[in-house]
Every structure is written in structure tokens, then in C-alpha cells.
Structure 1
Amino acid sequence: MSIVRKIKNNLFVRNCWIAFEHLKRFFCGRSQFAQCAESVVIIPPYSFGNPKNIVLGPNIGLGPNAHISALNARFICKGNCAIAENLTVHTGNHARVVGMYVTDITEANKPKGYDLDVVVEEDVWIGSNVTLLAGVTIGRGCTIAAGAVVAKSMPPYSICGGVPAKFIKFYWTIDQILEHEAKLYPDSDRYMRQHLEQIFRKYNSSI
């Protein structure tokens, strides 16, 4: 057994490291983030792995017990989002390598392509106990049901839920979405009817 492995398996060393990591993540000021707007409200306790890869836009409410791991890829929440307790975000994935125990695979020897950004667009509601996995984008105006494990991207103004999470339905009609967007966004940022019709056809046909 290698010296490194003996150290990693030492219970005292492991417990000290875990305690240090939890303390470091708990005392996380706004200056440690890539971006954290003044209007962001974060309710402790929380755990942020590498806050330099975390972007929090304006008017975000983040409930207690959030765990966001953003070691090699970013977590981006664009703004005006309500996030309930126990959010878990993983921007990375574990790898399996022939001839290596999973416990011996580190960030240095892990194959490329396992770490991807997680993006939450504007005006999103995320229920309690939701997990967002690497590479997903949650579309503008989306609602994620409590307990969902989101492993693939979700369209705007949709409701999704389950394990793994699936598209359930659109929250509003196209006319309602256009009315909503006209009240909140400038012309250049709004969804066009044609684009929404394409999205509706794609996802309604998959139900």
C-alpha cells in the first residue's frame, strides 16, 4: 500500500480534512465568488466547493443546506430565482479508470470531459431537495418539483420532476408566456413566438 493511500485511509487525517473543508466552505464571503450580487440572500448552513466558479445574479434566494460543488466547472444562476432548502449541484462526475480503485482517481488523473457547467436561467423556481447534475441548463421560467434529480436540460417555462427528472408540461400557454416576457424583458431578450412554437412542438410530442 502506497504512503499516499495510507494517509488517505487514516481516519484521524480524513476527519481533520473533512472538518477543515466544512469550516472553509461555511465561512464564505461574497468576495470569494466569481460573482455574487448584493441582493442575493443565502440562508446558512451551506457548503460551496470552489466559490470562484459560482456566479449568483441579482435577487436570488438560496435556502438552507445548499451544497454546490463547482471544482472544475461553473454553477451559474442568472437571477430572480427562488431556491428552496437542500439544493445539491454537482458540476463534475466521478470517473472509472481500468486498473485503478475509484478512491485512487484524483482531479489530476481523471480523464477529461467529466466536468460541465450547470446553468439556471432567470425566473426559475426550484423546490426542496433538488439535485442538478453536470451539464444541465434549466430554462427561463422553469419550475423544478421537490425531490427531482435533473440529469438533462429542461425547456423554458416548463414543469419538470421525478428521478430522473422529466418534462411534465408547460406552465403557461404561448400567449401567456409572451405577455409575461413583455412585462419583464426588453425586446432583444424576449422569446419570439416562432421559437416558443418550436419548443412546444418538440416537448409536447415527447409526452
Structure 2
Amino acid sequence: VPTDEARPRLWVSLLLNPFLHTRKSGSIVRWRTRIDVLPFNNFVLGEKSVIEDFTTINNGVGDVIIGDHALVGMGNVIIGPVTIGNNVIIAQNVVMSGLNHVYEDINIPILRQPVVTKPIKIEDDCWIGANAVITAGVTIGKHAVIAGGSVVTKDIPPFSVAGGNPAKILKYFNTVSQTWEKP
């Protein structure tokens, strides 16, 4: 397997991946999903989790771990390193990439410059709205909601609602009063 390719060859997809990567019981990967998983990084799909059609999963530069009872909607792009917790809903056309291209050396074409990775972590019970973008290095806390169309560039605390470009906190759950409040 070439280490400089992000997409596995057909023989890797058909012969190696079913034995090297974990798909727990009841998990479903729709047949029009592009699973670009290589044998040298992990791909785990949790119990009763679903990946819908037209989604691309790529572990070429880092592990992709999806927890139990997670739903990955249609048309998403997930490029590792990404960890998605249990009971997470990811709506349609969400992009999350733990990969960034280096561009600083003006004497080298960007295509020839290295890439850097920073892991993305989506904790349990989150909901990511349609067309959101989650950038490298971000952690989204437990039971957080990301509004559709948001661009998340910084960590989002647990029990909060965030939205916008760049995303900011719109509401949070006050544990003392047991109510949702605006900041």
C-alpha cells in the first residue's frame, strides 16, 4: 500500500479492509458511500450506527472512530483524525477534516508542501446541523448543538448551542437553574 496515496487501491478495499477494520453489530454503511480507508489507520463503526449514501470517509492521515448509535447523514465528508461519540446526529453535507495543507513556503507549490493534522473530537449526544464545517483541532462537548451552516473553528463547551461563521455560543444550559440561557 503506497503511503503517499489517500485513496486505497481496489484490492485493499475488497480484501483487507473487511478484516482489518471494525464494524460492530447492526451497523449500516449504505452502498453509495465512499469508504477510503487504508489498513495502517483505524476505522471503527459502532454498534447500530449508520452512514448514509454519498458520504466520504477517509482515514488516510488519521483514525476515524464513530461511536454506537451514531447517524452520519447524506453527503458528509469525514477526514481523520476524527472521533465521533455515541448517539451523535450529523445532518447532511457536513465537512469535518482533521487535515490542513501547509502553504507558508512560497518557493514550493502548495500541492507539494506537507499536511498537518489535528484531531477533531465530537463528544456523546451531539447534533451537528446541515452544511456545517468542523475544522481541525476542534472539540465539541457533550450534548452540544451546532446550527446548520456554521463554521466551527474553536472548541464548543458541553451543553451549549453554537452557530454562525465563525461559530459562537448562542445558548448554554445552566446547571443551577436547570434552564437554557443566552450568554
* Normalised TM-score (structure 1): 0.64
Structure 1 distance, partners of 2:133, 2:48, is: 24
Who is 2:27 aligned against?
none
Structure 2: distance between partners of 1:140 and 1:106: 33
* CA separation of 1:99 and 1:119: change in aligned 2, threshold 3 A: same
Q: Does 1:105 align with 2:113?
A: yes
More helix by share: 1
Cα deviation for residue 69 of structure 1 reads: 1.4
| 1:53-88 residue CA offsets vs partner (Å, 9 max, x unmatched) | 100111101100010112xxx200111111100110
| Identical counterparts, % of pairs | 27
1:58 and 2:59 aligned: no
Q: Distance in 2 between matches of 1:157 and 1:143?
A: 8
Match of residue 126 from structure 2: 124
Q: In structure 1, what is the Cα distance between the partners aligned to 2:132 and 2:145?
A: 11
1:90, CA displacement in angstroms? 1.1
Structure 1 unpaired stretches of 5+? 1-16, 108-113, 179-199
1:49 Cα deviation after fit:
1.5
Cα 1:142–1:133 change in 2 (3 A) is same
After TM superposition, give the deviation of residue 27 of structure 1 in Å: 4.6
Using the alignment, how far apart are the partners of 1:87 and 1:33 within structure 2? Answer: 21
Instruction: Tell me, yes or no, if structure 1 residue 142 matches structure 2 residue 141.
Output: no
Over residues 77-113 of structure 1, what are the superposed CA-to-partner deviations in whole Å (9 max), with x where a residue is unaligned? 1111111001101102121224112122244xxxxxx
Specify which structure has the higher proportion of strand.
2
C-alpha separation in 2, matches of 1:142 and 1:44: 25
Count of aligned pairs between the two proteins: 153
Q: What corresponds to 1:85 in structure 2?
A: 92
Confirm or deny: 8 A CA contact 2:35 2:57 kept in the other structure: no
Distance 2:159 2:48 in 1: 24
Counterpart code for 1:174: T
The alignment yields a C-alpha RMSD, in angstroms, of: 3.0
SS in 2 for 1:39: coil
Q: Which runs of 5+ in 2 are unaligned?
A: 14-32
Aligned residue in 2 for 1:34: 43
Larger Rg: 1 or 2?
Answer: 1
Question: Which residue among 39, 57, 60 is the counterpart of 1:48?
Answer: 57
Following superposition, the deviation at residue 35 of structure 1 comes to: 1.8
SS in 1 for 2:101: coil
State the alpha-carbon separation in 2 of the partners of residues 27 and 134 from structure 1: 20
> 1:129/1:116 Cα in 2 relative to 1: closer, same or farther (>3 Å)?
same
When normalised by structure 2's length, the TM-score is 0.72
Question: What is the distance in 2 between the residues matched to 1:100 and 1:41?
Answer: 41
Q: 8 Å contact 2:56–2:75 — kept in the other structure?
A: yes
One-letter identity of the residue aligned with 1:103: L
